[in-house]
Every structure is written in structure tokens, then in C-alpha cells.
């Protein structure tokens, strides 16, 4: 066997070895003809959206006429509640929605819209647009005893502008 023939065989073997090594490094046989195509990256798991938890307060408990006020300092609550009672001549009206919610305003929205009463695993209740409880446009129901409803916006900017809102039911006790 002459040297050039041995050199050619060695070159062919080296090329074949390199080709096999590169094919062996592939994770799949996708692509053209089933060889050497890149494998698609695994799809990230999409977190399951938690189902909306019904609130412990029913929408019909909020429907009605309310005197309204707002305060920024907790010391002003009693005075603001008394002032809200005096607002019943021009009440804030909460109407029932067509799909089980209540018609109220969102922060900075001139037109009221249907909002949901949403519960949470922590036991808190929220009023806001459809979606998970505790969203940026939601307001937390701080307290509700059937006669007085106290809420605050979760958005820090809206909370700073509007403060803690207090609604006092206008209708006499049944």
C-alpha cells in the first residue's frame, strides 16, 4: 500500500469520525430528512390561573343607596362616617350587574362598570374587574357590617389620592 493511499484513507476516516461525532451530539433527528435539525426547546409550564373564589359578601348585600365619604388619617374615620350619613340626599347608588356583579366606579374612571366581588385564600374580599383577587385595579373591602362598607384601592397612587372610602347605607334598618 502506498503512503498517499494510506493518507487518503486516514483523511476519510477522520472526516467520517467527525461527522458521526457531530451527529451523535444532536439530541434529536428532526429537520431535513430526519437528521441533524435542532430540537425545539421545551415549552415552559404555564401556571394555572386560579379560579375566581367567590367573596364571602354577596353582591346583593351591596346593592342600594349609600352616603359616601373618604379619609386619609384613621383618626378621621368617625367624623367622615357621620358626614357620609349626611350625603344620603345625593347618594352613591350601587346597582346590580347583569352577570352577577355590582355597578361601581374604578379609580379615575368616569363611567361605572360591572365589577366582581372576589374572595381570596386569605379570607379577604375585593371589588374589581374580572381576574384574580388582589389585582392592581381592585379595592380591598376593609370591613363590612351590612350598614357600613369601608374599602381602599390596592393601587398605591389611587389609594394616596382617594384615601379610605366609607359608604354608609341610606335605607333604614329593616
What digits encode the pLDDT tens for the residues 59-112? 999 999 999 999 999 999 999 999 999 999 999 999 999 999 999 999 999 999
Which pTM value belongs to this model? 0.69
Beta carbons within 8 Å of 24's beta carbon, 6+ residues apart: none
Among 154, 148, 104, CA closest to 134? 154
40 DSSP 8-state letter:
P
Q: Which residues pair with 164 in a beta bridge?
A: 71
Amino acid at each position: 500500500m502506498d503512503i498517499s493511499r494510506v493518507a487518503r484513507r486516514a483523511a476519510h476516516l477522520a472526516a467520517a469520525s467527525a461527522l458521526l461525532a457531530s451527529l451523535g451530539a444532536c439530541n434529536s433527528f428532526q429537520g431535513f430528512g430526519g437528521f441533524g435539525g435542532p430540537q425545539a426547546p421545551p415549552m415552559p409550564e404555564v401556571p394555572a390561573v386560579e379560579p375566581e373564589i367567590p367573596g364571602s359578601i354577596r353582591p346583593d348585600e351591596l346593592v342600594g343607596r349609600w352616603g359616601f365619604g373618604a379619609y386619609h388619617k384613621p383618626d378621621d374615620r368617625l367624623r367622615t362616617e357621620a358626614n357620609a350619613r349626611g350625603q344620603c340626599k345625593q347618594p352613591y347608588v350601587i346597582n346590580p350587574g347583569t352577570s352577577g356583579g355590582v355597578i361601581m366606579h374604578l379609580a379615575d374612571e368616569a363611567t361605572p362598570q360591572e365589577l366582581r366581588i372576589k374572595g381570596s385564600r386569605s379570607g379577604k374580599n375585593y371589588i374589581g374587574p374580572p381576574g384574580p383577587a388582589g389585582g392592581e385595579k381592585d379595592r380591598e373591602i376593609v370591613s363590612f357590617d351590612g350598614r357600613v362598607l369601608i374599602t381602599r384601592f390596592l393601587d398605591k397612587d389611587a389609594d394616596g389620592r382617594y384615601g379610605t372610602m366609607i359608604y354608609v347605607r341610606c335605607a333604614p334598618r329593616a
